[in-house]
Amino acid sequence: MPTEAYLLLGGLLFALGAAGVVTRTNALSVLVAVELMLNAVNLTFVAAARRYAQLDGGVVAFFVITVAAAEVAVGLGIVIDVARRTASVDVDEASELRG
Amino acid sequence: MNAEQAIFAVAGPICLIAAASAVTRRDPLSGALSLTVTLFSLAVLFLGLGAPFLAGVQVAVYGGAIMVLLIFVIMLLGVSHADLPRLRRPALQLAGPLIAAGLFTVLAVAILRSELPPASSDALPDDNVAAIADVLFGRYLFAFEAASVLLLAALVGAVVVARKRSTEREWPGRR
């Protein structure tokens, strides 16, 4: 397969995830969309690693997965705290800083 | 059609359909389960790309740990069909497909118009895990250690953020 096919698939997944982040109002759905974007990027890293026979792309994808794990843990902690305060997981409800 | 093309032809569309389902389902649980399908099909694509170690990490860490955590929290917060968020921003809901289409058009034009440097003629080493270990614990050793500190910080941070506040006991009226 040409590398471009993987890049296009990654671009499509990234665009879907970005649209999800912008349009969803449920914090958990937003997290799901963010995970999708991270995975789209991982796919391009692995495809580039194969194309140039360099393992660095795979190692970077490994670090992206690590950071994603940290991001999900903290993100879900925040969602639980917001749900406890506002009795809702709607991102529009957490607007106390609007002033 | 070689093995890689067959893998791409099968896993690619599955990945795409599951991803579209993951971002369009209103129920976060269905979205999370669709995302799990996406993650597994990506692991299959990684296998086709000659990265079995990453495919294993993808299944174990992403499909296992991260998605279990996410689904656990969705269950914990008890999302019922009654209190699904209302479509309060219909204009934004309409904008979703437009944003996705616009962003993908830009990315696709950029990918197709750019000339990638020619592919390397040599293949990735067959002994993938050992070779990755050499890179990970050699050139990326500092990043590896920094990642372990990051994970510890995230672990402590998540516990601190998600625990019940002591102030809630002192000032029960405060929300």
> How many domains does chain B divide into?
2
Q: Please report, for residues A46, A67, B54, B67, B160, the alpha-carbon distance to residue B58 in angstroms, rounded to integers and kept in the order given.
A: 12, 13, 6, 11, 28
**CATH no. for residue B55?**
1.20.120.1200
Q: How many CB pairs under 8 A join A and B?
A: 239
The tokens for B160 are 């601190």
Whether residue B110 is contained in a domain is answered as: no
Cα–Cα distance measured from residue A25 to residue B87, given in angstroms and rounded to the nearest whole number: 8
Mean pLDDT on B94-115: 90
Query: Is-contact B126 A53, C-beta < 8 A?
Result: no
Helical H segments across B25-83, by residue range? 28-48, 52-57, 67-76
Residues B16 and B72 both lie in one domain: yes
> Which residue type does B20 have?
A
CATH number corresponding to A3-88: 1.10.287.3510
State the greatest distance between any 2 C-alpha atoms of chain B, in Å, as a whole number: 69
Residue B85 has pLDDT above 90, yes or no: no
Of A15, A33, A66, the CB nearest to B104: A15
CA pair distance B124, A16, nearest whole angstrom? 31
Q: Are B100 and A16 in contact (CB under 8 A)?
A: yes
Q: Are residues B131 and B63 in the same domain?
A: no
Q: Smallest Cβ distance to B74: which of A6, A28, A50?
A: A28
Q: Which of B79, B94, B109 is the last residue of a domain?
A: B79
- Domain range for residue B159? 127-175
Q: Please count the residues of chain A.
A: 99
Mean pLDDT of chain B: 85
Per residue in A17-51, pLDDT (tens digit) is: 999 998 888 889 999 999 999 999 999 999 999 88
Who wins on pLDDT, B27 or A11?
A11
> What is the predicted pLDDT for the residue at A30?
92
Question: Does a structural domain hold residue B95?
Answer: no
DSSP state, residue B60 = I
Nearest Cα of chain B lies from the Cα of A98 at a distance, in angstroms, of 17
In a domain, B114, yes or no: no
Compare CB distances from A90 to B20, B85, B123 and report the shortest one's residue: B85
Among B16, B47, B79, where does a domain finish? B79
Q: Is A95 on the interface with B (CB under 8 A)?
A: no
In this prediction, residues B58-65 reach a mean pLDDT of 91
The span from the CA of B82 to the CA of A87, in Å, is 14
More confident of the two residues B45 and A83: B45
Evaluate if residue B82 carries a pLDDT over 90. Answer: no
Check residue A97 and report its DSSP letter: G
Which residue ranges make up each domain of chain A?
Answer: 3-88
**Residue B75 and residue B1 share a domain:** yes
Each residue's pLDDT tens digit, B108-130: 999 999 888 887 777 777 777 88
**Residue A60, token pair as written in the block:** 């970077």
Band the pLDDT of B20: cuts 50, 70, 90.
very high
Of the candidate ranges A22-36, B67-81, B161-175, the one whose mean pLDDT is the lowest: B161-175
Which residues, in sequence order, are CB contacts of B32 under 8 Å at separation 6+? A28, A32, B22, B67, B70, B71, B74
In a domain, B75, yes or no: yes
Residues of A in contact with B102 (CB under 8 A): 15
ipTM score for this prediction: 0.91
Last residue of some domain: B79, B111, B139?
B79
In a domain, B40, yes or no: yes
What is the pLDDT confidence band of residue B167, given thresholds at 50, 70 and 90? low
How far is it, in rounded angstroms, from Cα A23 to Cα A11? Answer: 18
